[in-house]
Structure 1
């Protein structure tokens, strides 16, 4: 682990601070809000560019990884999220909905960056991405009804538009660019030079998130403390569960790192768009989605650092 990798948690915290500060300036806030989606697309493009797409097909054959990841993400995680919400947020129905919405949607974008940081099997992580996306689209209304009693319609168009913009466009473009670059040694040299570009774009996207929506945090300080406690408890328990399960399953070091990130990271960018469109009269629903990166991103960066320390 080089010096730059050791400083990942610091870069994440610095980006959050810069984003909150930028959000106090009206012009910057509007600019950052417009930049968020393009930044996520660019971030994933450079991440996908470094992936050998031939390996993705082989990754689908790893049944142990697939079945265990799906089991944790779509069976254990909803139960854990409901239990934590019942314990910490029983008297805040709007925040309860946002918390459930966040925790039952596995990440489909930036967890790939953190998998790379932890030197995990990026192709394996990418291969489960469409499965996570499809299952959360199908199961989200069921989870919301089961755990919160809400019958509000969930706008599936937000999922579809988010998937096309944030996932399919950079994936397809990266595949075309790799074909254009060919198999020459020059391609590998260029990719080596671009290794830190996704991390830079991730930090910039974090700044944009907190600049655009950080006011929700400052307007609800006491509730924010309870919410952050719930989010931190979730990620701590999930790290322990994933590590124990991965060791028990006999996953390799690279696959274990991927397993950690696939089960830890949540889909707050797409979830935020859904919260705003599905619950426009309940801004506190979006609070959980805005607050999540405040804990999630440093936790994922720290998790990558811990994994590197323990397993590499």
Structure 2
């Protein structure tokens, strides 16, 4: 959930992908060959979690929401798709492929149900989509997915049993609402004190630090839980297949909505990217606090995040090809016979 300027988002997404691979490898090796140190890393994730949460909320640009208030029709379309249709698709896919492995299924459902608030804008820009409107989706997506998290968890994963709704509410209050208030207060205080230009440098620093903090968190997860994760390695192929099927179905959904609602190409590209990209970093933080001690759930989120980057790259190519085809068709119609 990185909130970078539109020119920096794609490099940050590529960096995050590389860092995640390195973090998984280093964490797994540490946990396997130095289990005492690995367990210590796994037992001390709270500071990393709070740092990541603070950076995520500090980096949110709230001012763009008011600038795009006139695009309520598109925002409504995106909200219905992201928070009603896509979670139902995700639950169906997870149930079909992972019902025999309930913890991995829970991780997949959590991954599928939360739209991205970060690197999807970089891919939207490179695909020629409406980046300004996409920025307006960020605070809305962030607020709704946190509010709906306990609802989805109870509806879609009732077999977890041990999840207590009041506990979820308390956890979200102390781990997310209060840190969000503190981070946003610091955000606006520094903006006032430093001025726009110098404050933008602070945001850039926070944006660039976030992938490294996410990577550290992933390293700690794998270092402290590699034994449990390796014990279930044989089902990871099914996990990858589930993510692939989900991405195919969500692309079909975005195409159907774009054509049915007659969206112009910039909004079409934006809708495709916001439906495809998921918010694994924030959901990883939420889940580690609400469902502690569940490495398989966390591993499912991390693996989904790894698959997401090549998928978004492929989507960009598909969208650009569609734009060229539209332009050629329009030229053929407009040209005199």
Q: Taking structure 1 as the reference length, what is the TM-score of the superposition?
A: 0.74
Q: 1:294 aligns with which of 271, 287, 306?
A: 306
Task: Give CA deviations for 1:77-125 in whole Å, capped at 9, x if unaligned.
Answer: 2321232123312322232233223322344xxx234325533225312
SS of residue matched to 2:118? helix
In structure 2, the CA distance between the partners of 1:254 and 1:158, relative to structure 1 (3 Å rule), is farther
Q: CA separation in 2, counterparts of 1:166 and 1:238?
A: 32
Q: CA separation in 2, counterparts of 1:306 and 1:173?
A: 41
Residue 12 (structure 1) aligned with residue 16 (structure 2)? yes
Q: Tell me the CA shift for residue 20 of structure 1.
A: 1.6
Q: 2:177 aligns with which of 164, 169, 183?
A: 164
Q: Hey, what does 2:213 align to over in structure 1?
A: 205
Task: Give CA deviations for 1:185-215 in whole Å, capped at 9, x if unaligned.
Answer: xx2x873x67864553343133123202122
| 256-265 or 297-306, larger mean C-alpha shift | 297-306
Q: CA separation in 2, counterparts of 1:35 and 1:116?
A: 26
Conserved? CA contact 1:89–1:226, under 8 Å: yes
In structure 2, the CA distance between the partners of 1:250 and 1:179, relative to structure 1 (3 Å rule), is farther
Describe how 1:55-74 pairs up with structure 2 within 5 A.
55-74=64-83
Q: Hey, what does 1:76 align to over in structure 2?
A: 85
Q: Hey, what does 1:233 align to over in structure 2?
A: 245
Q: Tell me the CA shift for residue 264 of structure 1.
A: 3.0
Q: How many residues were matched structurally?
A: 297
Q: CA separation in 1, counterparts of 2:57 and 2:213?
A: 11
Q: CA separation in 2, counterparts of 1:93 and 1:62?
A: 40
Conserved? CA contact 1:9–1:301, under 8 Å: no
Q: 1:153 aligns with which of 139, 146, 164?
A: 164
In structure 2, the CA distance between the partners of 1:223 and 1:43, relative to structure 1 (3 Å rule), is same
Residue 173 (structure 1) aligned with residue 186 (structure 2)? yes
Task: Give CA deviations for 1:27-68 in whole Å, capped at 9, x if unaligned.
Answer: 6945983334313432553x43xx471x32243443222322
In structure 2, the CA distance between the partners of 1:272 and 1:263, relative to structure 1 (3 Å rule), is same
Q: Tell me the CA shift for residue 244 of structure 1.
A: 4.4
Q: 1:102 aligns with which of 111, 116, 127?
A: 111
Flag structure 1 segments of 5+ consecutive residues without an equivalent. none
Q: 1:245 aligns with which of 246, 252, 257?
A: 257
Q: Hey, what does 1:136 align to over in structure 2?
A: 149
Q: Taking structure 2 as the reference length, what is the TM-score of the superposition?
A: 0.69
Q: CA separation in 2, counterparts of 1:194 and 1:245?
A: 38
CA RMSD of aligned residues (A): 3.9
In structure 2, the CA distance between the partners of 1:165 and 1:10, relative to structure 1 (3 Å rule), is same
In structure 2, the CA distance between the partners of 1:70 and 1:276, relative to structure 1 (3 Å rule), is same
Describe how 1:35-46 pairs up with structure 2 within 5 A.
35-45=48-58
Describe how 1:191-202 pairs up with structure 2 within 5 A.
191=200, 197=205, 200-202=208-210
| 230-239 or 113-122, larger mean C-alpha shift | 113-122
